[in-house]
Structure 1
Amino acid sequence: MDREVKALIFDLDNTLIDTSRAGALAIRKVINTPPVVSTSELLKTELGLDDDTISSICDKFKQKLFRECFDPAAGRSIHDVRVGHWEESLRETVGSVPTPSLAAQCYFMWKNSRLEVLSLSPQIRDLLKQLRSRYKLLLLTNGEAQTQREKVQTAKCAEFFDAIVVGGEHAEQKPFLSIFTLCFNMLGVEAQDCVMVGDSLDTDIQGGFNAGVQATVWISSTGATVPEGSVKPDYTVQTVLELPHVLEQLK
């Protein structure tokens, strides 16, 4: 291409950090972490439940998390909403929540376990250092502000980026043009100077397309192909570590 790439915009979850794996590990830790008091031990102590029933409660929580729609205007914090997921999962499985604090204990144990395993791998840290010597880098992540800021802080992302934008802190998130325009302005570049990198076709790739970036790079960790009718990324890779090969093609 004739136009030089000046900036790279990265998604966070399942692009730079393996959030899906962290969530799964947190659930397993919640169930299987003796002798430290775990959610499994809490539920066994409070309700006398067997392992299959506890696994069912955790599965229900995961399903509610996956379907979650958080609206800060509703007056509930993200913590309240997710404690509510545990309360509902308990009621649906065993019919009651015996103590008001039990669901909150389950939630904070899950949350803290997940944060413990969220990190940038050494290979990705090295990649970002290498890229930042040549390009401006911006982290653009959708999601509830406090939750995403906690991930950013835990993964120690700040040192690798010229700017960090959390969608939940703005009126619109990816794939809307307004948040991409904000990013371009923060970096002092135009859309055609940028490459968008992310794992979501609906938000990252569609957003980059809407904004008119020079190229979009889809992270398809499973090697899946683009579904029929979906927006088409310019490049598809299985890991962000393949990005330098894409950038070579854009020169």
Structure 2
Amino acid sequence: MDRSRVKVILFDLDNTLIDTAGAGRIAIERVCDFLKTSLGHEEIIRDICQRFAVKLRHESFDPNYGRNIDEVRIDHWQQSIRECEGVDRGRPLAAECYRIWKGTRLQLLTFAPPVRTMLEELRKTHRLLLLTNGESQTQREKIQAVGCAGELFSGLVVGGEHPEEKPAVSIFTHCFRQLGVLPQDCIMVGDSLDTDIQGGFNAGVRATVWVNPNGQIPLEGSVRPDYTIATVLDLPGVLAALK
């Protein structure tokens, strides 16, 4: 057996394998269109949607508080509307905004055909594990939406279901144990330097691969990936270089 061969590929999900950001932008536009029929003022509507996006980006969720993620995100919409209009238009309007946003986003989340084809080919020679940060319900819904559970991956690990998320070593150790491999048997592929690449570095994986479609330049002092690719579809070339 070739002990130097990469045996396991750890994949991030959002904006690595699926275009979560793009789906989110379209979902926001759908809500804006809906609000035009209810509120009418386009400038205010844009402000409402931008405020929701900011609240989502800085979201802090604790399941121990007795509320689920759906309730928290309805709150985001209700607060955004109240902040922009100066009046509380009630829960039903906020709930409808959330229903449109969530439904649209999930409907758009999918593996692009070339990505699915690549995963199907990689699965013939490697074990694939999905390692995604985020609240459990939200991430499980995404996984269900793209239809990847069990079909393409040997393991699915959701950060919100563990004491620590990426970049903590503990969640990587859980992945290694789940598949019965060593860190040097694995590579980590993801779009985030702070979580995916830093986490892979912390855990001692064979190599880290940064998916960087916009050509970002790492900030001084940030972790440096072993490989940088413009799209996850370039990964087979990295694997060839690692042989």
Give TM-score, length-normalised by structure 2: 0.96
| Residue of structure 1 in register with 2:20 after alignment | 19
Moved more, 92-101 or 173-182: 92-101
Is 1:196–2:188 an aligned residue pair? yes
**Residue of 120, 138, 145 corresponding to 1:147:** 138
**Residue of 104, 115, 127 corresponding to 1:124:** 115
Shift of residue 2, structure 1, vs aligned partner: 7.3
Shift of residue 187, structure 1, vs aligned partner: 1.2
After superposition, residues 54-203 of structure 1 pair within 5 angstroms as 54-158=45-149, 159-203=151-195
Identity %: 55
Which ranges of 4 or more aligned residues in structure 1 deviate by more than 3 Å?
none
| Structure-1 separation of matches of 2:236 and 2:223 | 23
| Structure-2 separation of matches of 1:214 and 1:100 | 50
What amino acid maps onto 1:22 in structure 2?
A: A
| Structure-1 separation of matches of 2:82 and 2:90 | 12
Shift of residue 194, structure 1, vs aligned partner: 0.1
> What do residues 10-52 of structure 1 show as CA deviations (whole Å, max 9, x unaligned)?
00000000011010010112223xxxxx3432x33xxxx3111
| Structure-2 separation of matches of 1:155 and 1:21 | 15
In structure 2, the gaps of 5 or more residues are: none
| Structure-1 separation of matches of 2:36 and 2:21 | 21
Moved more, 1-10 or 229-238: 1-10
Contact 1:144 1:167 in 2 (8 A): yes
| Structure-2 separation of matches of 1:2 and 1:179 | 24
| Structure-1 separation of matches of 2:35 and 2:159 | 31
Describe the SS at the equivalent of 2:50: helix
| Structure-1 separation of matches of 2:219 and 2:213 | 15
Describe the SS at the equivalent of 1:101: helix
**Residue of 204, 227, 231 corresponding to 1:239:** 231
| Structure-2 separation of matches of 1:79 and 1:40 | 23
Contact 2:78 2:90 in 1 (8 A): no
Describe the SS at the equivalent of 1:108: helix
What amino acid maps onto 2:79 in structure 1?
A: E
| Structure-2 separation of matches of 1:226 and 1:250 | 23
Describe the SS at the equivalent of 2:91: coil
Contact 2:164 2:171 in 1 (8 A): yes
Aligned length, in residue pairs: 241
> What do residues 62-118 of structure 1 show as CA deviations (whole Å, max 9, x unaligned)?
111111111222222111111111111111100122233111111111111111111
Contact 1:39 1:109 in 2 (8 A): no
| Structure-1 separation of matches of 2:222 and 2:90 | 46
Contact 2:77 2:94 in 1 (8 A): yes
| Structure-2 separation of matches of 1:100 and 1:31 | 17
What amino acid maps onto 1:219 in structure 2?
A: V
| Structure-2 separation of matches of 1:12 and 1:40 | 33
Moved more, 66-75 or 194-203: 66-75
| Structure-2 separation of matches of 1:234 and 1:153 | 31
Shift of residue 171, structure 1, vs aligned partner: 0.9
| Structure-2 separation of matches of 1:103 and 1:16 | 30
In structure 1, the gaps of 5 or more residues are: 33-37
Give TM-score, length-normalised by structure 1: 0.93
> What do residues 166-187 of structure 1 show as CA deviations (whole Å, max 9, x unaligned)?
1111111111111111111111
| Residue of structure 1 in register with 2:10 after alignment | 9
